[in-house]
Structure 1
């Protein structure tokens, strides 16, 4: 209902999704509605430089690239060369590739070498490193910048993470880390839809 009535046809991102699936990438990208939301957030806050941690096939990257507009830049980090190859093919086919710079190595290594400042950071990578990613993003942000972290509800598993669920444990640790953080104002929204029951955390940099 949401996609058919509100989003309309979007061949560039639809083709990216098809190509990612055909290339064997896992079906863990944001939904079309979430992608449009990320694009609109970029536009609403006037983001011109965006950092993305976790490229996968570049589906969310394309929405962010639209959001920054002509002359804007999305810097996206991907550790897996096989994923990065598919993402680059999607960027080239979309016509938005000139707005995207991709770094292919472990995100923590790339983050150590990046220069700020970013207006928005979108984190959707390995969850055990969520706290590390947020702290790096904070170093690359300015007061008023926004940090968005995906998959922060995980079907409620964050309430009582199973012994071997490192993703839920990492996400739970993120809540504890930001709850009294002196430089961050935080909230989270739960989502139910094409990607199941999950949510996003929103962190505004205060100082």
Structure 2
């Protein structure tokens, strides 16, 4: 198996099951034109997030890490008419591009993009005493995963589904001696999840146009 074959299979799946509309295409194009890194989820992964949020019956979604708003659009479209999505972004340029993409997709009335460091934004959300979120997608810096997971638990309810992206790191996650802060962050989050009786979780390896990685699925059960 090779990267070429993984990518070809992803294209086959996307062409058949994930038709891209103009808003999603435009979001990717404007992000690329602005020089944003091409680290957004793949189209079939965006559709997976969309289906998971719908299956969870999500009315309130929290996204940690906006980038250009590609995954934000997928998630926002899973909400009912009265649903809301808050997305956190630390980079002003990324937030500006994302707001434009969200507006072009007709979702400005649904999505609230908050600029600032994620931990500071999460603390403000906690202080606002908002209703708990039904679905939380964590796709920010991996060194911060332990803290993001801890906050996600505070902002969740029984039944909330938490998804953390990029948790396999091309297999690097199994190397306990790896000094990469991203890998250390993933491993520490996994340890916290394993020791947390309030959640039930697993992780899945993935291959495709984004290479070899994976995501964690965490359901709050108590």
TM-score class, shorter = over 0.9
Name the residue aligned to 2:199: 184
- Range with greater deviation from structure 2 (16-25 or 157-166): 157-166
Q: CA deviation at 1:189?
A: 1.0
Does 2:43 correspond to 1:28? no
Q: SS in structure 1 opposite 2:205?
A: strand
Does 2:53 correspond to 1:42? yes
Partner Cα distance (2:131, 2:82) in 1: 17
Name the residue aligned to 1:4: 15
Q: CA deviation at 1:165?
A: 1.3
Q: SS in structure 2 opposite 1:118?
A: coil
Partner Cα distance (1:44, 1:90) in 2: 25
Structure 2 unaligned segments of length 5 or more: list them.
Answer: 1-11
Partner Cα distance (2:26, 2:71) in 1: 13
Partner Cα distance (2:45, 2:78) in 1: 13
Name the residue aligned to 2:166: 151
**1:1-207 alignment, distance < 5 Å:** 1-114=12-125, 115-160=130-175, 163-207=178-222
Per-residue deviation, residues 174-204 of structure 1 (Å, max 9, x unmatched): 1111112111111011111111111110111
Partner Cα distance (1:8, 1:149) in 2: 25
Partner Cα distance (1:161, 1:15) in 2: 41
Structure 1 unaligned segments of length 5 or more: list them.
Answer: none
Task: Write out the 4+ residue segments of structure 1 that deviate beyond 3 Å after TM superposition.
Answer: 161-164
Name the residue aligned to 2:9: none
TM-score, with structure 1 as normaliser: 0.97
Question: 8 Å contact 2:172–2:178 — kept in the other structure?
Answer: no
Question: 8 Å contact 2:36–2:68 — kept in the other structure?
Answer: yes
Instruction: Looking at secondary structure, tell me which structure has more strand per residue.
Output: 1
Task: State the Cα RMSD in Å.
Answer: 1.1
Q: SS in structure 2 opposite 1:9?
A: coil
Partner Cα distance (1:116, 1:163) in 2: 39
Ranked by relative contact order (alpha carbons within 8 Å, sequence separation 6 or more), the top structure is: 2
How many residue pairs get matched? 207
TM-score, with structure 2 as normaliser: 0.90
Partner Cα distance (1:204, 1:44) in 2: 13
Q: CA deviation at 1:9?
A: 3.1
